[in-house]
Amino acid sequence: MKLHGIRIPHKKNTADCPPVRLSVPETVVIPMSMHIGKTAMTTVKKGDHVKVGQRIGDASGFFSSDIHASISGTVQAIEERTGCNGSRIPCVVIASDGLQEPFGGLTPPVVKDFDGFIRAVKESGVVGLGGAGFPSFVKLGVKDLSRIETVIINAAECEPYITSDTRTMVDKGEYVFRCIDIMRRFMGARHFIIGIENNKREAIRVMQKLAADTDDVEVCVLPSVYPQGGEKVLIYHTTGRVVPRGGLPLDVGVIVANVTTLAFIAEYMETGVPLIQKCLTVDGSAVKEPKNVIAPIGMLIEDLIEQAGGLKCEPKKVLYGGPMMGISLPSMHEPVLKTTNAVIFMDEKEALPPKTTPCISCGACISHCPFRLNPRDIAKTYRLGDVKALKELCVDICMECGCCAYICPAHRPLVQTNKLGKIMLKEALAAEKKKKKAGNGGSNA
């Protein structure tokens, strides 16, 4: 099987570091949107007293997710803040009372069938914890369960630095297998593949040991080639199946779920405590003591790094996630989100982008792209505003992994241009659809 991608430094400095639980901060800021889909509707108001695990945001519509209080205390404010994607998001600011009182309604869900299982997953507030943020109850709520041939558990964790999934497998591996058992019972799943890169020896050992007593769980050890953890890449490298353009994993009989997501679901079934905290990696060239920590959702990054040991220099860049696909934070006043699996603090040397020079037409961006796209030509057509050519070049299937920009000897901003090209194509198609709809409406009139 031909592998496409790039070899990057692993920098898994914290793989052997069990997570340290941080103290409850004075305040948390909990956004009502930490998931793909519609923003949750706030259910509390300023001055309300809330307890740990209490629902403070209701999912609004099918693609949405419930939000819960991560600390007990008083709602200090409900205010809009600008998220890292530039959108304005309502946030609930809670001032801690120092008591961490649990909400009285937190009990393990009673699950007797598939519908009850999906309902429990929804009420837990869990979303894809690998960074995607797709509401888990939507992904698992398959209408025709007979279409599921294989469940692929994404344990690749291919980004540099990040080891939070690794710690899940090492520290909570039994919960991963409890969730597998739950999916057997309520979803009828009969084949499971744990896709994991070969640079995680201890995690592989734990997973293989737990899988030894099963007949339907395969631990698939994969080469450490980035972006091994990309959904469509992982499907191909574990099953040989290709998800069609515009299609979903289910179109090839597969569901892909992050390993930490599944471990959390099993833990929720046991405790009834919703998603209110995250295990995440704190690392980077500006960090004094790289480590894994457990932090309440909504904890500000400035409080996080102070409790995690502090910085050895002023960071030039701070990222949610890894250096390949992570999102740059505008300030240290951003909160820990449901999807935060790492916060990386870079010094000036690590963060400073290299000087861009003219393209030399070497083709490295093409040969290393997992989907064999042509970022060079995409960049040209984007500058020309040629929407038809962008569509023909399949810019819409770019997974924005950054392989092209990383490997480019001229340091061209290829992945950034791909993103802009995707937006241009999306807007053009939406405008075309709107125009066509208006035309049809006019003729009907």
* pLDDT tens across the length of the chain (445 residues): 455 799 999 999 999 999 999 999 999 999 999 999 999 999 999 999 999 999 999 999 889 999 999 999 999 999 999 988 788 999 999 999 999 999 998 999 999 999 999 999 999 999 999 878 999 999 999 999 999 999 999 999 999 999 999 999 999 999 999 999 999 999 999 999 999 999 999 999 999 999 999 999 999 999 999 999 999 999 999 999 999 998 999 999 999 999 999 999 999 999 999 999 999 999 999 999 999 999 999 999 999 999 999 999 999 999 999 999 999 999 999 999 999 999 999 999 999 989 999 999 999 999 999 999 999 999 999 999 999 999 999 999 999 999 999 999 999 999 999 999 999 999 999 999 998 888 776 544 4
Structure tokens at 92: 């609930």
- Do residues 146 and 232 lie in contact, with contact meaning Cβ atoms separated by under 8 Å? no
What radius of gyration do the chain's Cα atoms show?
22
Task: Render 181-233 in DSSP notation, one character per residue.
Answer: HHHHHHH----EEEEEETT-HHHHHHHHHHHTT-SSEEEEEE---BTTTSHHH
What pLDDT, on a 0 to 100 scale, did the predictor assign at position 62?
85
Structure tokens at 3: 């592998």
Q: Environment class of residue 410 by beta-carbon count within 10 Å: exposed (0-12), middle (13-18) or buried (19+)?
A: middle
What pLDDT, on a 0 to 100 scale, did the predictor assign at position 83?
86
Q: How many CB atoms lie within 10 A of CB 153?
A: 30
| Alpha helices by DSSP H, 212-361 | 231-239, 259-271, 301-307, 348-351
What pLDDT, on a 0 to 100 scale, did the predictor assign at position 394?
97
Q: Environment class of residue 248 by beta-carbon count within 10 Å: exposed (0-12), middle (13-18) or buried (19+)?
A: middle
**CA-CA distance, 64 to 397, in Å (whole number)?**
24
- The CA distances from residue 128 to 132, 205, 337, in Å, are 5, 25, 12
Q: How many CB atoms lie within 10 A of CB 224?
A: 16
Q: How many CB atoms lie within 10 A of CB 313?
A: 13
Structure tokens at 416: 């950034």
What pLDDT, on a 0 to 100 scale, did the predictor assign at position 440?
76
Beta-bridge mates of residue 28: 94
What pLDDT, on a 0 to 100 scale, did the predictor assign at position 443?
47
What pLDDT, on a 0 to 100 scale, did the predictor assign at position 39?
96
At the topology level, CATH places domain 114-271 in: Rossmann fold (3.40.50)
What pLDDT, on a 0 to 100 scale, did the predictor assign at position 445?
41
| Alpha helices by DSSP H, 57-200 | 114-124, 136-140, 164-187
